[in-house]
């Protein structure tokens, strides 16, 4: 049959005839689109295998784009030239689960190990971004070029979301290797660089902390519980949920005992200022009672948000996140001379690299250090 310039539009608009017809591609001999009288269209490869002319179906038209089918056909033809038989690959594909099938098993095994927020996140990205792209593909047929094209397209609009979906897919591919569905060392995500993260973190210098303290004092009568929670966040460097969900049974003599944090159970040391603040909180000291009942378990978030935004506006701090109080605690500890491992232990980090990301140093502090080092060297050279 004659060969033509096979395009996606031509494949889509071609009509069936009384007999089977095949549109062979001029750009890739042996690759074509077969159109049945019923209207069914399939991508095919035709080649001589073991002395016989064979036609092998790649996929149905509509289930695979022209570019994907042509790429798959090129791989199959190369395998045939090397003496292989793509029919073996097709048989193996039938035995290998698709990503959608594997996702169910992946969630069944891994979800019990995750926190509720982690389960929601993984399911959301699977449904919205990963399964639409790879759900029908056998696990061992997902290649680096497939992942790279998907990641590049996703990164154009939401690079942060693309990074998160990419991390989930990479973890699934490693688990697929462990389960024997992919050969070891074939994770298609390895070698693909994620998008650079936008640096949105801030920390407060001494003057800004003082202004924030005065703003909180001015709003304490209006939002007493929210102000107390914000102060405790600043004094301990804890995460918002860790403080808002505290019960009196979690408060020790010199530490907060968190039964469950982002990195598991841990103890948060309490300084004198934090102990004084906690001792001044109103309400009963029943072990099961929350320290901040109006804001515990997700309640009253809008009150806390209004209090925080008002205080930041009064203190002229600009756009500042509540989480930046945690950055501030880390930075103050480093500038006070504490080493990163100790600061990481205070914040409950597992990796020193995470602590280094929080431990920003103020420019003034760096200038002071440079002055001290420069003076010492100059004095030594003068001697």
| pLDDT (mean) for 178-192 | 90
Q: Specify the length of the chain in residues.
A: 383
| pLDDT (mean) for 335-343 | 66
- 99-178 to CATH, choices 1.10.150, 1.10.260, 1.10.10, 1.10.730: 1.10.150
Q: 3-state class of 170 per DSSP?
A: helix
Could you read off the pLDDT of 122-169 as tens digits, one per residue? 999 999 999 999 998 888 889 999 999 999 999 998 999 999 999 999
Q: Residue 57's pLDDT band (boundaries 50, 70, 90)?
A: confident
| pLDDT (mean) for 195-218 | 86
Instruction: Work out the burial of residue 74: count CB atoms within 10 Å of its CB; fewer than 13 is exposed, 13-18 middle, 19 or more buried.
Output: middle
Instruction: Work out the burial of residue 262: count CB atoms within 10 Å of its CB; fewer than 13 is exposed, 13-18 middle, 19 or more buried.
Output: middle
Q: Is the dihedral of CA 114, 117, 119, 125 positive or negative?
A: negative
d(CA 81, CA 62): 28
Using the predicted structure, report yes or no on whether residue 381 has a pLDDT greater than 80: no
Which of 190, 195, 136 is CA-nearest to residue 163? 195
> Is 206-366 in the same CATH topology as 99-178?
no
Among 87-101, 132-146, 174-188, 258-272, whose mean pLDDT is lowest? Answer: 87-101
Using the predicted structure, report yes or no on whether residue 365 has a pLDDT greater than 60: no
Could you tell me which CATH class the domain 3-95 is placed in? Answer: alpha beta
Residue with tokens 């929210």: 226
Among 18-27, 181-190, 353-362, whose mean pLDDT is lowest? Answer: 353-362
Helices marked H in the chain: 8-13, 66-81, 86-95, 99-110, 116-125, 131-134, 144-155, 159-178, 206-219, 224-236, 240-244, 272-279, 301-314, 324-335, 340-347, 352-358, 363-382
Strands 52-60 and 255-258 turn out to be unpaired
Could you read off the pLDDT of 64-81 as tens digits, one per residue? 889 888 988 888 888 888
User: Under CATH, which number does the domain 206-366 receive?
Assistant: 1.10.443.10
| pLDDT of 355 | 63
d(CA 99, CA 172): 9
| pLDDT of 233 | 92
Using the predicted structure, report yes or no on whether residue 171 has a pLDDT greater than 90: yes
User: Which are the contacts of 170, defined by CB distance < 8 A and separation ≥ 6?
Assistant: 187, 189, 190
Instruction: Give the rounded percent of residues in the chain with a pLDDT score beyond 70.
Output: 84
| pLDDT (mean) for 44-66 | 85
DSSP-derived secondary structure for 30-95: TEEEEE-TTS-EEEEEEEEETTEEEEEEEEEBTTB-HHHHHHHHHHHHHHHHTT--HHHHHHHHHH
Q: Cβ(220)–Cβ(258) under 8 Å?
A: no
pTM over the 0.95 mark = no
User: Hey, which of 49-58, 82-91, 288-297 has the most confident mean pLDDT?
Assistant: 288-297
Among 136-140, 289-293, 312-316, 366-370, whose mean pLDDT is lowest? Answer: 366-370
Alpha-carbon distances of 158 from 107, 193, 196, rounded to whole Å:
25, 15, 12
Q: 3-state class of 288 per DSSP?
A: coil
d(CA 112, CA 178): 18
Q: 3-state class of 200 per DSSP?
A: coil
Domain ranges of the chain: 3-95, 99-178, 206-366
Strands 41-49 and 255-258 turn out to be unpaired
Strands 3-4 and 21-25 turn out to be parallel
Measured N-to-C along each axis, helices 324-335 and 224-236 cross at an angle, to the nearest 10 degrees, of 40
């Amino acid at each position: 049959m004659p060969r033509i310039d096979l395009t996606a539009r031509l494949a889509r608009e071609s009509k069936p005839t009384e007999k089977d017809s095949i549109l062979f591609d001029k750009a890739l001999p042996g690759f074509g689109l077969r159109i049945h009288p019923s209207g069914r269209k399939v991508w095919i490869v035709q080649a001589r295998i073991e002395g016989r002319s064979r036609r092998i179906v790649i996929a149905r038209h509509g289930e695979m784009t022209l570019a994907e089918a042509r790429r798959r056909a090129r791989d199959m033809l190369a395998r045939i030239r090397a003496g292989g038989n793509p029919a073996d690959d097709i048989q193996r594909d039938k035995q290998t689960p698709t990503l959608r099938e594997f996702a169910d098993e992946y969630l069944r095994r891994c979800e019990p190990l995750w926190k509720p927020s982690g389960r929601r996140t993984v399911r959301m990205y699977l449904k919205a971004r990963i399964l639409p792209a790879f759900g029908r593909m056998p696990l061992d047929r997902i290649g680096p070029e497939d992942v790279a094209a998907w990641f590049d397209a996703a990164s154009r609009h939401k690079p942060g979301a693309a990074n998160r979906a990419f991390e989930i897919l990479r973890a699934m591919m490693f688990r697929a290797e462990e389960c024997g569905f992919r050969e070891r060392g074939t994770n298609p995500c390895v070698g693909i660089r994620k998008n650079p993260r936008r640096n949105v973190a801030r920390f407060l210098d001494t003057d800004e902390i003082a202004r924030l303290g005065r703003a909180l004092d001015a709003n304490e009568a209006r939002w007493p519980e929210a102000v107390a929670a914000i102060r405790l966040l600043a004094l301990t460097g804890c995460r918002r949920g860790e403080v808002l969900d505290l019960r009196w049974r979690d408060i020790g003599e010199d530490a907060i005992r968190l039964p469950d944090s982002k990195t598991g159970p841990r103890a948060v040391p309490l300084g004198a200022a934090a102990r004084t603040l906690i001792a001044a909180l109103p309400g009963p000291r029943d072990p099961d009672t929350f320290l901040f009942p109006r804001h515990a378990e997700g309640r009253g978030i809008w009150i806390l948000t209004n209090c925080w935004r008002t205080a930041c506006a009064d203190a002229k701090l600009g756009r500042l996140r509540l989480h930046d109080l945690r950055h501030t605690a880390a930075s103050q500890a480093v500038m006070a001379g504490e080493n990163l491992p100790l600061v990481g232990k205070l914040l409950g980090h597992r990796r020193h690299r995470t602590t280094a990301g929080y431990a920003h140093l103020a420019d003034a502090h760096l200038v002071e250090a440079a002055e001290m080092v420069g003076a010492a060297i100059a004095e030594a050279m003068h001697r």
